[in-house]
A and B are shown apart, each in its own frame.
Chain A
Amino acid sequence: MRIELAQVSRWYGNVVAVNDVTMTIGPGVTGLLGPNGAGKSTLLHMMAGFLAPSGGTVTLDGTKIWRNHEIYRSIGLVPEREAVYGFLTGWQYVLSSARLHHLPNPDDAARKALAMVEMEPAKDRRVETYSKGMRQRVKVAAALVHDPEVLLLDEPFNGMDPRQRLHLMDLISAMGAAGKTILFSSHILEEVERVAQHIEVLVAGRHAASGDFREIRRRMTDRPHVFRVRSSDDRRLASALIADASSGSVSLTETGLEVQAVDFRRFTWLLPRVARDAGVRVWQISPADEDLESVFSYLINRSS
């Protein structure tokens, strides 16, 4: 099944949360990547039928999602908020989900779903006694209980320990391989890269990039990088570096050199050699813009 977003916008008063986004989420695993506050949750809520688009349309195989409860036969939703009825046991919680779906055999379905997330040992404990990761897993089980064609997960790996994270990643990958349409949001590139065949990047409410992880990774590393370099002779190193095409600009500052590398790979290969040949001792190299925000802002500037 396919979720299609056509020129979707969403604003709250004067604040635009999602701005003219057009994308199609098809079978397989798609990662929705973006920094916090980029509008990932807003977009996901519109896909899940929990928010009306202010403009544009959101459809599931051609049917409108907003105000249409029938879509939940095909959609499973794992919301970000940790909200689960604390007074129910894990088993009761997942079973209630199966019964609310009017499944022919709710007990079997609940048992299967709990097994998928490895929650059988703790299934008879109340949810309020669970750790964050365990709550996350029963939420996934409750969303999977009707074997949905589409699974939407909002920051699903938050609060999970590494082992649980790997397990959920495997589960998501397996479901994607089985032809389900899966979308999950995350602000961590490594997470997305590991599971998603396809990545949609959202920055400041806009659709900044789209492609497989190699493509996104290449775009993220092939941007101009800024490095700060301190050495025994900054001026001499500067002249040696600017002679090569991999440096776009070099400026001398009080605290050392600021180099903008246009060809990341060549620059990192070149710098130690140039320094050695010029007889300059390098004391410190530090990337000036390695945080995710600047990577994203580069992407958004390029796409606009």
Chain B
Amino acid sequence: MNGVIAGISYRALLGRRRIWLLIMLPVVLIGLAVLLRVIGSGGENATITLMRTFAIGTMLPLLGLIAGTGVIAPEIDDGTIIHLLAKPISRPVIAQTKFLVAASILALFAAVPTFVAAYLLVGLESGVASGFAVGALVGGVAYAAVFMLLGVLTRHAVTIGIVYALVWEGVVGNFVPGARRFSIQQWAQSIADQLSSSPFFSTEITLGFAVPALLIVTVGAVVWAGQRLRSFSLTGDE
């Protein structure tokens, strides 16, 4: 962790218009929760549907994509990353710092709003709010690592990330049961499920699979990104 790098990364990510992208989705989530409550259909079942499809299924991967690629891909694109890389700082430390910045952004913009939205609907009933908040936190951390790695590996990180989140996790994961085992949002849901005692919610992936998978993916992505940065090459424009 390097404070200077973290500071620059936060400013790059939260400065200007990009912050509105990060704020928009949580605002929609909380707005939907308020709406459900107002029209009086905010039962436990509806809450879980909202959390599964919107909070974990839509908001989390999109925010993960914005924050995960956003901490590093634009800097690689325009070459400003050289300012950080041409310093006597180990490249893995740079990758770890970028990851922590993205992960903290997701905690703030994804996990906290998830808790707030669920709390507005069902309070602390059946541990739904805390379960989904922890699920969003852990899933967000994994998304941050994976999408940051994508940002280091390829210039098409955003495209590939959208394809993964929408096509693989969204479509394939819904129809092909086997694919669900390799989906960050399914792991996040599995954790949310285990932490809540709600009868309306069950997932097929066990905690015994989801937790090691999340750990391996997160640590692996951060380590790989650090190694990739060690071989960062400037290919001449000429």
Contacts and interface: CB of A to CB of B under 8 A. Distances in A.
Interface in B1-31: 2-5, 7-8, 11-12, 15-16
B236 A96 contact: no
A67 B88 CA distance: 11
Contacts of B2: 100
Interface stretch (A24-32, A71-79, A163-171, A226-234): A71-79
Nearest to A35: B238
Interface residues of A, number: 40
Nearest to B7: A96
Contacts of B82: 50, 77, 79, 81, 83
A237 interface: no
B86 A77 contact: yes
B8 A85 contact: yes
B231 interface: yes
Contact of A37 (B79, B230, B231, B238): B238
Nearest to A45: B234
A66 B84 CA distance: 16
Contacts of A48: 86
Contact of B235 (A36, A51, A72, A77): A51
Interface in A77-115: 77, 79-81, 83-85, 87-88, 93, 96-97, 99-102
B238 to A, nearest CB: 5
A97 B85 CA distance: 11
Contacts of A39: 236, 238
A72 B86 contact: yes
Contacts of A37: 238
Contact of A100 (B11, B89, B230, B231): B89
A69 B231 contact: no
Contacts of A45: 233-234, 236
Contacts of B91: 69
A80 B82 CA distance: 11
Contact of A52 (B79, B233, B236): B233
Task: Count chain A CB atoms within 10 A of each CB in B3, B4, B231 and give the residue with the most.
Answer: B4
A36 B238 contact: yes
Nearest to A77: B86
Contacts of A96: 4, 7-8, 83
A58 to B, nearest CB: 13
Nearest to A17: B236
A283 interface: no
A199 B8 CA distance: 38
A162 B3 CA distance: 39
B232 A100 contact: no
B154 interface: no
A136 interface: no
B12 A87 contact: yes
A83 B86 CA distance: 13
Interface residues on B, range: 20 to 34
A90 B199 CA distance: 58
A83 B79 contact: yes
Task: Count chain B CB atoms within 10 A of each CB in A17, A70, A88 and give the residue with the most.
Answer: A88
Nearest to B233: A51
A52 B230 CA distance: 11
Given A69-B90, A75-B86, A42 B236 contact: yes
A253 B11 CA distance: 68
A103 to B, nearest CB: 11
A41 B8 contact: no
A12 B238 contact: no
B87 A84 contact: no
A75 B85 CA distance: 12
A100 B87 contact: yes
Given A12-B235, A51-B234, A101-B88, A142 B83 contact: yes
Contacts of A87: 11-12, 15-16
Nearest to A41: B236
B32 to A, nearest CB: 33
Given A17-B236, A99-B4, A83 B15 contact: no
B237 A41 contact: yes
A45 B231 CA distance: 12
Nearest to A95: B4
B80 interface: yes
A110 B3 CA distance: 18
B230 to A, nearest CB: 5
Contact of B88 (A69, A99, A142): A69
Closest 4 CB pairs of A and B: A83-B79, A41-B236, A50-B234, A81-B79
12 contacts: A50-B234, A51-B233, A51-B235, A69-B91, A72-B86, A83-B78, A83-B80, A83-B82, A87-B11, A87-B16, A88-B11, A100-B84
Given A69-B88, A69-B90, 14 more contacts: A12-B235, A42-B236, A45-B233, A45-B234, A51-B234, A69-B91, A71-B88, A79-B82, A83-B83, A85-B80, A87-B11, A97-B87, A100-B89, A143-B86
